[in-house]
Copies of this chain bind each other. A is one copy, B any other.
Amino acid sequence: MATKHYPTPMLDVLEEGPWPSFITGIKNLRDNHPNERIRNMTNGVLGQLEHSYETRMGYWKGGTISVFGYGGGIIPRFSEVGHMFPESKEFHTLRVQPPAGNYYSTDMLRQLADSWEKYGSGLQTFHGQTGNIMFIGSDSKNYQGFFDEINDYGWDLGGAGPCVRTGMSCVGAARCEMSNCNEQAIHRHLLNNFTDDVHRPALPYKFKFKVSGCPNDCMNAIERADFAIIGTWRDDMKVNQAEVKNAIMKKAAEIGKEGDRAAGRQYMFDNVISRCPTGAIKLNDDDTMTVDNSNCVRCMHCLNVMPKALQTGDDKGVSILMGGKRTLKIGDLMGTVIIPFMKMDTDEDYERIKELASTVIDYWAENGLEHERCGEMIERIGLVNFLEGIGIDPDPNMIQQPRNVSYVRMDGWDEAAEEWFNRKREEKMAAA
């Protein structure tokens, strides 16, 4: 096969400009990689991509491929214009699960690069939108070898198809002062409890876990996960009053009013106090701060602005929301609070969250329609039926507000009220 380069006049334009260019990178492989397979494959893929740019159309089609013993984890791609660009007529992507929290040593990344070079195109992505390392560009001859090799030193495939998907967790406890839980432990406990469901797609549709250590939700979990775990706390936030005072003066300096206490206070009023969604904070005349913790909704804003002065509490745990997803079929959904608070300290706590996840997945596997996400199912059957299905009691934290239409059948009211009172009584007794 001639190593003639396909012309790429449009792609070349994407080499201009200061931002790192993926085109430059691919060309570099094509032009300079010692391995001819790689040079050819990247030449082909550039040719096809140029063709796409010119015609404004894509030219890949799917298929079925997986490593021995698994049913999923690879996105197979066969070219529809393989006759024009035969070098890359197969161009599969392997989805490999990253370490929880996305930590790498440079050594390990070199090792992965070395393996990939042996079998694939030399292109990879850190990470895909679901968090996988995507090794882009393998063919039928090579993918199994690559998998076997990296599998030997600790790497496994992620999800693709109707299965439990690769999870995500924020940097969290490893580096972030806002963290309220061990994001990585939660991530790994959950995912590794479902390896079978990750590797052998047999669910109604995909199911995603994402863990954010606090309500800033750096993992976009509420909107993009079927099962979102968000760290939070129940007791009072901590206020370092000396740092509140410092923050005021520091802010004054930052806005060019060095030493002007009033200016610093004004900034705090306008940017912290008055931005609290529930009006739960007060800046006192003596530059101390008072927090009405019973009204604080843990939105994070004041802590974000004043990380030195304010810290989350000690009674940490997580809230769990279910049913988030993006657009297909009924439009984007946010998750809904199902567990307002759950401790996440002991082994039993971890068992409990795994059980909960299993219950949810089982219920959905039985009741979800084909290609119906958990959130769509909840939408279809109603939150109450879902709660009953998974054995969770209704709680006012699950709602934004009670119903505003009288169209509902309420003949079980008395029993439901009784249950509530019993539960409250038990909670009281448990607390006492």
Contact = CB atoms under 8 A, between A and B. Distances in A.
Contact of A331 (B279, B327, B332, B405): B405
A406 interface: yes
B274 A406 contact: no
A331 B274 contact: no
Interface string A220-246: 000000000000000000000000000
Nearest to A274: B274
Interface string A3-34: 00000000000000000000000000000000
B327 A405 contact: yes
Contact of A404 (B274, B279, B332, B407): B332
A314 B109 CA distance: 71
A141 B116 CA distance: 98
Interface in A85-138: none
The interface size bin for chain A is: under 10
Contacts of A332: 404-405
A187 to B, nearest CB: 29
A89 to B, nearest CB: 33
A279 B275 CA distance: 11
Contact of A406 (B327, B404, B406): B327
A407 B331 contact: yes
Given A274-B274, A274-B279, A327-B407, 8 more contacts: A327-B405, A327-B406, A331-B404, A331-B405, A331-B406, A331-B407, A332-B404, A332-B405
11 contacts: A274-B274, A274-B279, A327-B405, A327-B406, A327-B407, A331-B404, A331-B405, A331-B406, A331-B407, A332-B404, A332-B405
A327 to B, nearest CB: 6
Contacts of A279: 274
Contacts of A407: 327, 331
Interface in A378-432: 404-407
A274 B406 CA distance: 34
Contacts of A327: 405-407
Contacts of A274: 274, 279
Nearest to A270: B279
Contacts of A406: 327, 331
A407 B327 CA distance: 9
Interface in A310-324: none
10 A-B pairs closest in CB distance: A331-B405, A327-B406, A331-B407, A274-B274, A332-B405, A332-B404, A327-B405, A331-B404, A327-B407, A274-B279
A331 B406 CA distance: 8
A403 to B, nearest CB: 9
A407 B332 CA distance: 11
Contacts of A404: 331-332
